[in-house]
A and B are shown apart, each in its own frame.
Chain A
Amino acid sequence: MRFELTDEQRGFAASLTDLMRSADAVGAARAWAAGDKDPGTRLWSRLAEQGVTALVLPEDQGGLGGTLVDLVVAFEVLGHGLAVGPWIESAALLPHADGAMITAAVPPLAPYAVDADVATLASGTAGQTLASIDTTRTLVAVAGPDEIPADAVDRAVLAASAELLGAGERLLSDTVAYVKQRRQFGREIGSYQAVKHQLADVRIALDFARPLVLGAALGDVPVSAAKVMAGDAARRSARTALQLHGAIGYTRELDLGLWINRVRALVGAWGSADHHRGVLAELLREA
């Protein structure tokens, strides 16, 4: 029964979730964006101690020898809790045993190295620094990065998909909580069908993206399928979350925007929906 998560996987997810909550991951993300990397670095170390960067590294290289499903489980939690730092690069693209913060540029899918201002650049020379729509990500141009093997890149695409799924889930649950208590015209806005149906559609989109993310981890479908569906579902969740929060959602003060901008960044990073639909179309053309 490979489709069911094992107790071990559930336990791992729960321990990462607890850790992120107790360490105030969102506060760390805000500090990170403001230039104070200390809380984020401390959280990084604690997650790394749980083995996140070594998760899919083979045991003979000092790793945990986990499966891609384990990777998906971890990244969904990272997305849900808004982890900062180059996790996709350090845990999926270039997994390693010592927990270091590693980053890389993989043009054209991921043209900039994220957080190269604090992380070790795996290859090439760091150039100009650019701002991201997601203020918790610093983009660094890289000259002459090494070519990275396709299976490593696929892992990164998968991790980004799982992170999108986690962020989409978080945006949905925060919005559900909000519409249950916000009242207008004498009723909770969540009792209005125009509001309900939008949230139902987000629930459905996430429900049907999840099996493709798991399916890609199990090798049943290409990772491109996961990225397209998870990206579309997360985007829908983000748009709906903002709309249903009204103006409060449009403020920097509310945390919601942190996830909305994270989703937007990851929808583009590691291959756009257009890119991945193109990959799938090629396969279908030749089928």
Chain B
Amino acid sequence: MSPQRDELPNLELTEDDIAFRDEARAWLAANVPAEPLPSMDTADGFRAHQEWEARLAAARWSVVSWPQEYGGRGASMVQWVLFEEEYYRAGAPGRVSQNGIFLLSPTIYEFGTKEQQDRWLPSMATGEVIWAQAWSEPESGSDLASLRSTATRDDSRGGWVLNGQKTWSSRASYAHRGFGLFRSDPDSTRHHGLTYLTFPLDADGLLVRPIAQLDGEAGFAELFFDDVFVPDADVLGEPGQGWAVAMSTTGSERGLSLRSPGRFCAAADRLTALWRSHGAPTAFRDRVVDAWLGAEAYRLYTWGTVTGLVTGRSIGFASSANKVFWSELDVALHETALDLQGPEGERFSPWTDGYLFSLSGPIYAGTNEIQRNIVAERILGLPREPRGAGA
């Protein structure tokens, strides 16, 4: 049934949209590497992925929704989703630049100065500078507002001095710059008195210690700050307003941008093909159908969201429902593929790789427990949980 995915359900595409999609499809068909790239969480793989980003950028496919001046095509929301669909359908590599382009860049566009935009965006678009998100701390996971790393004012040098520790920073092992929140007012609590700062990962006083993930690769790292100096020019938004600055990006992280439907549709199609190649065993019928149904539901839901956005509604807290749905779908889909292969499923393969990655979905970007709280409290209007002191 995958051919149906050619037809976009709910939007009447303009001639421009169709031309855009066809151009993307043709370029991807001619350029997507025939062999999967090595994992981006290895030194070689990271470089290979950077090269791929550069190739995408040279043809101006790396950040299609950005304005021309920063390497984009000024593509509409609809075109952006069209591109993502084509990208995953073509089996193109995961984006090593994703924390920058999906999480940080919306904030730079919203809060960054023109000078910061000029300085940071072009090298982000080409993949030359890869950014890592440094939000979590050892004691601050789900409760991010409890963070303790500090930024101390240094007027003589015109900037801030960072101390403390961040952790679980994806790709920080190989990346070039980080962005994160620091407590800049020592008397503040929770989401007050925080400042959003960016910094080079090879700064003096900054130690990056890679941490191996479930698959053995150094996918994330912890960062130790020992008097790391950051000039005022690298502060994003107003000092003290870091929470508001940071929160402007979490909606896009949980919702549309990080997980385009193309990924799940492509994976569901691969699962269906795997099922057929095993003789379409009846025992797996329901699980395969449900994976397909989940991918279709996600695809149509996303187009519904896009339609809403185009007509002026915002995603709002629906992004939390979205996040729970795609992350659980992803695990179910990969588990089904491994179960279907029986003892062979143990062998390391793109399926086991995808499975290990899927397991992190319900944890990162706000755990699914936290997302369910948001759905219950913000969408259904249920009473807030009693919070601890200082909450």
Q: Which residues in A have some Cβ–Cβ distance to B below 8 Å?
A: 1-4, 172, 176, 179-180, 187-188, 190-191, 193, 195-197, 199-201, 203-204, 207-212, 214-215, 218, 220-222, 225, 228-229, 274, 277-278, 280-281, 283-285, 287
Partner of A284, one of B1, B379, B384: B1
Which of the listed residues A1, A200, A207, A277 has the most CB atoms from chain B within 10 Å of its own CB? A200
On whether the beta carbons of A285 and B318 are closer than 8 Å, the reply is no
On whether the beta carbons of B381 and A180 are closer than 8 Å, the reply is yes
Provide a sorted-by-A list of 28 A–B residue pairs whose CB atoms are within 8 angstroms: A1-B12, A1-B311, A2-B11, A2-B12, A180-B381, A180-B382, A196-B385, A197-B369, A199-B376, A200-B375, A200-B376, A203-B321, A204-B375, A207-B318, A209-B297, A212-B296, A214-B300, A215-B300, A220-B7, A220-B9, A225-B293, A225-B296, A228-B293, A284-B272, A284-B288, A284-B289, A285-B276, A287-B276
- Tell me, rounded to whole Å, the shortest Cβ–Cβ distance linking A194 to chain B: 11
Q: Does B57 contact A (CB under 8 A)?
A: no
- How far is A188 from B386 in the complex, measured between Cα atoms in Å? 11
The interface stretch among B104-112, B301-309, B343-351 is B301-309
Other than the known A2-B12, A193-B369, A196-B380, what 20 A-B pairs have Cβ atoms closer than 8 Å? A1-B11, A1-B311, A2-B10, A3-B303, A3-B304, A4-B307, A187-B386, A190-B383, A196-B382, A199-B380, A203-B376, A208-B321, A211-B301, A218-B10, A221-B4, A221-B300, A225-B293, A277-B286, A280-B293, A281-B280
Residues of A within 8 A of B303 (CB): 3, 211
Partner of A1, one of B307, B321, B380: B307
With A1-B311, A3-B304, A176-B381 in contact, is A196–B376 under 8 Å at CB?
yes
- How far is A201 from B371 in the complex, measured between Cα atoms in Å? 10
The 9 closest A-B pairs by CB, nearest first: A3-B10, A211-B300, A196-B376, A200-B375, A200-B372, A191-B383, A190-B382, A220-B9, A3-B307
Q: Does B250 contact A (CB under 8 A)?
A: no
- Tell me, rounded to whole Å, the shortest Cβ–Cβ distance linking A17 to chain B: 20
Residues of B within 8 A of A284 (CB): 1, 272, 275-276, 288-289, 292
- Tell me, rounded to whole Å, the shortest Cβ–Cβ distance linking B278 to chain A: 12
On whether the beta carbons of B382 and A176 are closer than 8 Å, the reply is yes
Residues of B within 8 A of A285 (CB): 276, 280
- How far is A284 from B273 in the complex, measured between Cα atoms in Å? 9
- How far is A221 from B9 in the complex, measured between Cα atoms in Å? 9
On whether the beta carbons of A207 and B288 are closer than 8 Å, the reply is no
- Tell me, rounded to whole Å, the shortest Cβ–Cβ distance linking B316 to chain A: 12
With A176-B380, A284-B272, A287-B1 in contact, is A203–B304 under 8 Å at CB?
no
- How far is A110 from B167 in the complex, measured between Cα atoms in Å? 58
Q: Does B214 contact A (CB under 8 A)?
A: no
Q: Does B298 contact A (CB under 8 A)?
A: yes
With A4-B308, A228-B293 in contact, is A283–B1 under 8 Å at CB?
yes
- How far is A90 from B221 in the complex, measured between Cα atoms in Å? 63
With A214-B300, A225-B296 in contact, is A201–B383 under 8 Å at CB?
no
With A284-B272, A284-B292 in contact, is A229–B384 under 8 Å at CB?
no
- Tell me, rounded to whole Å, the shortest Cβ–Cβ distance linking B292 to chain A: 6
On whether the beta carbons of B383 and A4 are closer than 8 Å, the reply is no
On whether the beta carbons of B285 and A201 are closer than 8 Å, the reply is no
Q: Does B324 contact A (CB under 8 A)?
A: yes
Residues of B within 8 A of A190 (CB): 376, 382-383
- How far is A180 from B384 in the complex, measured between Cα atoms in Å? 11
On whether the beta carbons of A2 and B289 are closer than 8 Å, the reply is no
Residues of A within 8 A of B272 (CB): 284, 287
Residues of A within 8 A of B2 (CB): 287
With A1-B310, A3-B307, A191-B384 in contact, is A196–B296 under 8 Å at CB?
no
On whether the beta carbons of A3 and B11 are closer than 8 Å, the reply is yes
Q: Does B377 contact A (CB under 8 A)?
A: yes
On whether the beta carbons of B12 and A215 are closer than 8 Å, the reply is no
On whether the beta carbons of B321 and A4 are closer than 8 Å, the reply is no
Chain A residue with minimal CB distance to B271?
A284
Taking CB atoms and an 8 Å cut-off, the chain B residues in 7-45 that contact chain A are 7, 9-12
- Tell me, rounded to whole Å, the shortest Cβ–Cβ distance linking A212 to chain B: 5
On whether the beta carbons of A180 and B383 are closer than 8 Å, the reply is yes
Chain B residue with minimal CB distance to A1?
B307
Residues of B within 8 A of A2 (CB): 9-12
- How far is A214 from B280 in the complex, measured between Cα atoms in Å? 29
Partner of B296, one of A3, A210, A221: A221
On whether the beta carbons of B382 and A199 are closer than 8 Å, the reply is yes
Which of the listed residues A2, A172, A196 has the most CB atoms from chain B within 10 Å of its own CB? A196
